[in-house]
Structure 1
Amino acid sequence: MKRWQWDLGFTVVAGAVIAFMAFDDGPGPRAAFVSSLLVAAALAWYFLYGRRHIFRTVTPRGAWIFVSVLAVLHLAAVWIDHTASFALFAWGTMIFASVPRRPSVAIVAALTLLPVPMTYLRDGTLSLVHGLLPLTALGLAFALLLGTFVSHLVEQNEERAAMIAELSASRAEVARLSHEAGVATERARLAAEIHDTLAQGFTSIITLAQAAESATDPDTVRRRLTQVAGTARENLAEARALVAALSPADLHTSGLGDAVRRQLSRLASQTGIRTACHLDRHFDPGPADLPTALQVVLLRSLQEALTNVRRHARATSVEVRLALTGTTVVLTVTDDGVGFTTTAPGSGFGLAGMRSRVEQAGGVCTVDSHPGTGTTVKVELS
């Protein structure tokens, strides 16, 4: 039941008791009026104070204060006019909803039984006591039955509150774990971004600077320094894009096909390695209609593969193929370098980061290499 339904029931019971006393030929109009005022005061006490303390999972001090004052008002009304004892049908429910079951049973039983000796003390005769006993027994049974029902509702509320608290705690734990997982994923992503952009750019700058340092021809030195400056500018652009959480700078000004060509041209000019670029019609001449996230993964994979060629392969030529077959994009990078054993444990972050990035995008990254036969890196994204 909703709270307003309980309020309506309590009001109806109290109103019925007051109306019954008004038309009853009891101890007199004055006594009925005073007793009615006490019943009304008990109902007002509920609305003004007690309402906030019932149906609670934890019994506060205020609930005991409410029950104590309610019991005093009820007994005072019953002392003046015994008809007011019928209001216990409302007060008993309030008591069971306010305090635990055992003390509630004791309090309601006391309030039901006390009117019998109170009647004897007030009238000094047993003439009315004999008539009250059956009604008192019936009222006690009904009050305990109703109290058991109300206590069951309170226990259900306690269980529901415990379940809600447990669910809230579980949600908080899930949110915490999700946050930690998100932080770890973002750290891994940033580590891959830094490795694929800034670290590779600095490696190129160091290589070009060492080549310029060992060169004796002024024109060669000048050309290498020009390449150092160009690579530094590109690295700066990548750093700014990374800080702004944007896609690679190469993709801002042109499509993926042009970005692939620029990567190969840069490799050829800096290392002298022969390069070949094969783009199908989806990437040449214009940009392919691919999500930016997939283009970023493809470009980063190409950069990592070319960095490995530059640093480890000792290759003389590199061939890159980019094709769109149906809904699958395939990037293939093949070199004629020294190769390596793919089953051997690696010490670098590059290939592991490439595979992780591709797998997070729902793709597959394969590396085919053997000592002395070169290396082929293949990335497939759908």
Structure 2
Amino acid sequence: MGDDKGRWWLRVATLGTDGHDPRDDAELALGVIFVVLGAGVVTQALIAMPAGLPLAAARAWYLALTMTLSGVVVGGCIGTLRRGTVPAAPWGWASLVLSLAAMPAFTHIMPGSELLGSWTVSVFGFAQLSVAAAGVWMHSVPRTFLLSVAVGGYYYWLLIAAGGPYGQVSVVANALNYPVFALAISLVSQYWRILAQRTHDAHQEALLATRQMELDRYRMTVHDTSGILRLLGDEATPDEVLPAVRRQALAEANRLRHYLASPTGGAGRVGEADSGRVRLGDVLGEAVDGFADLPLELSTALGADALLVASDAVAVAQAVETLLHNVRRHARASTVWVHADTTGDRWEVVVRDDGVGFTADPATYGFGLRTQVLAALTKRGIAVEIDSAPGEGCAVTLSGPVAVPDAREHR
């Protein structure tokens, strides 16, 4: 048993706080309810015992039965506090059987006038507690209900057979307490457990989603960098390509340092903040910088002045860089075109090459196309269209809304 299990008062004091398994909290809360009810029943029985003892036909039996029932409940309460959950089925059955066995003994040794509505015959209170507790440890609403109906019927038969000075309606009303309490507690405990399980499952799903998001963020950070490192380490990389690759490597090194230093893993590129506006020409100018080794033709005159919100500019710059890295690695192109245009209130960027091409099937896309281009842009409302076929090169079209100028730019 761990320290947390033993220090039950600390667990109760921190019930529902972060760091606790909600399923354990649910069981502990049910256990605390049982302890409160059990303490109340024992206290009432002991308070009424001095008044009931002189009325008993067999005082020794009255005293022994009352103290035994109280001891069983106190033991169950102590076990509940130590384990952090309601007593298990063995205790529940023992308590219930003992209460049922003591009921006819009390009706035999106590006057009929004390059998209804008096705590001097405390066995009925202990029986109700045992049936109510069954609503928790039985883990079944139907079985609990059937058990409680049987106990209620047993109670009704005993009191009617005792023939005390009370009406049948009063006995029926009291007998109904057994199924009512048991059913209510059983329904609440089942709902509580289901809610705790759902909370636990949601927490686990959130943890998995966070881990996956962090993994995707890491992969997006190092995807392009890995290509640059491969070019630097490959002896077959042409000498005329190396200066441009080294410039990109230095830029990526700075970006990775920023990633490690930033709690949010910022990209450290154009439009790093979410505020302000960025010209599309500036976005593409930065994106193509470092790809001087490619046979690249940049044409941005028609769309250079289109404005993008800064966060969109970051996503577009990263997507264009990823596309150019893919061209460098796979396309074997003789010409690469990066073209920008503006039509009405929308801008458009086309990255096209005359390389080997591929089958444009989303199921076969690698991480770069799938995550850094398609997923990153579409979640920002930027449309992406990929057109390619083996031997026919590839054209990727990005398009989005032109941003309204930032009011601060006019101050």
**TM-score of the two chains, using structure 1 as the length reference:** 0.61
Find the counterpart in structure 2 of residue 357 from structure 1: 376
Match of 2:354 among 328, 332, 337: 337
Output aligned runs, 1:11-160, within 5 Å.
Answer: 60=92, 63=95, 67=99, 78=110, 83-86=113-116, 87=118, 92=124, 94-99=126-131, 101=148, 102=150, 106=154, 110=158, 133=163, 135=165, 138=167, 142-160=170-188
User: Does residue 232 in structure 1 map to residue 249 in structure 2?
Assistant: yes
Q: Distance in 2 between matches of 1:146 and 1:324?
A: 81
Counterpart in 2 of 1:194? Answer: 222
Match of 1:127 in 2: none
SS in 2 for 1:211: coil
1:296 matches 2:314: yes
Please tell me whether residue 318 in structure 1 is matched to residue 329 in structure 2: no
SS of structure 2 residue aligned to 1:167 = helix
Partners of 1:134 and 1:71 in 2: CA distance: 15
- Do the aligned partners of 2:259 and 2:265 also contact (CA within 8 Å) in 1? yes
Residue type at the aligned position of 2:232: I
How far off its partner does 1:343 sit? 4.0
Report the equivalent of 1:173.
201
- Identity score, percent: 12
| Alignment partners' CA distance in 2, 1:253 and 1:361 | 15
Give how far 1:265 is off: 3.4
Aligned to 1:368: 387
1:317-348 Cα distance to aligned partner (Å, 9 max, x none): 5233265964x6x4413335246354478575
1:335 counterpart letter in structure 2: R
- Name the CA distance, whole Å, in 2 between partners of 1:191 and 1:324: 34
Deviations 1:230-255 (A, max 9, x none): 22211212322343442322237797
Greater Cα radius of gyration, structure 1 or 2: 1
8 Å contact 1:256–1:299 — kept in the other structure? no
Contact 1:365-1:380 within 8 A present in 2 as well: yes
**Secondary structure, counterpart of 1:376 in structure 2:** strand
Q: Residues 264-279 of structure 1 correspond to what in structure 2 (within 5 A)?
A: 264-268=288-292, 270-271=293-294, 273-278=296-301, 279=303
Amino acid at match of 1:202: L
Distance 2:214 2:336 in 1: 35
2:211 to 183, 189, 203: 183
2:152·2:177 contact (CA, 8 Å) conserved in 1? Answer: no
Structure 2 residue corresponding to 1:163, chosen from 170, 173, 191: 191
Q: TM-score, structure 2 length as denominator?
A: 0.57
Contact 1:205 1:231 in 2 (8 A): no
3-state SS of paired residue (2:349): strand
Q: Does 1:260 align with 2:297?
A: no
Aligned residues: 323
Structure 2 counterpart SS, 1:210: coil
2:10 — aligned with what? none
Question: Which runs of 5 or more residues in structure 1 are unaligned?
Answer: 22-29, 117-132, 213-219
Change (3 A) 1:375 1:248: same
Q: Is the counterpart of residue 246 in structure 1 residue 265 in structure 2?
A: yes
Shift of 1:157: 1.6
Alpha-carbon separation, structure 2, partners of 1:282 and 1:190: 31
Instruction: After superposition, give the CA deviation of every residue in 1:190-245 in whole Å (9 maximum; x if it has no partner).
Output: 333322x3123225535797322xxxxxxx6xxx6544442221121232234344
Q: 1:236 to 1:256 in 2, by over 3 A?
A: farther
Aligned counterparts of 1:65 and 1:341: Cα–Cα separation in 2: 76
Cα RMSD after superposing both structures: 5.1
Q: State the alpha-carbon separation in 2 of the partners of residues 350 and 134 from structure 1.
A: 86
1:211 to 234, 238, 253: 238
Q: Describe the shift of the 1:325–1:303 C-alpha distance in structure 2 as closer, same or farther (beyond 3 A).
A: farther
| Corresponding residue SS for 1:320 | strand
Q: In the alignment, which residue of structure 2 is the partner of 1:308? A: 326
Structure 1 residues 285-341: Cα deviation after superposition (integer angstroms, max 9, x where no partner): xxx434x2x333212210122223334152335233265964x6x441333524635
Q: CA deviation at 1:154?
A: 0.9
SS of equivalent to 2:176: helix
Q: CA 1:204/1:264 → structure 2, altered by over 3 Å: closer, same or farther?
A: farther
Contact 1:198/1:238 (8 A) holds in 2: no
Per-residue deviation, 1:189: 4.1
Change (3 A) 1:206 1:320: farther
After TM superposition, give the deviation of residue 165 of structure 1 in Å. 1.6
2:294 maps to a residue whose letter is T
Q: 1:363 to 1:47 in 2, by over 3 A?
A: farther
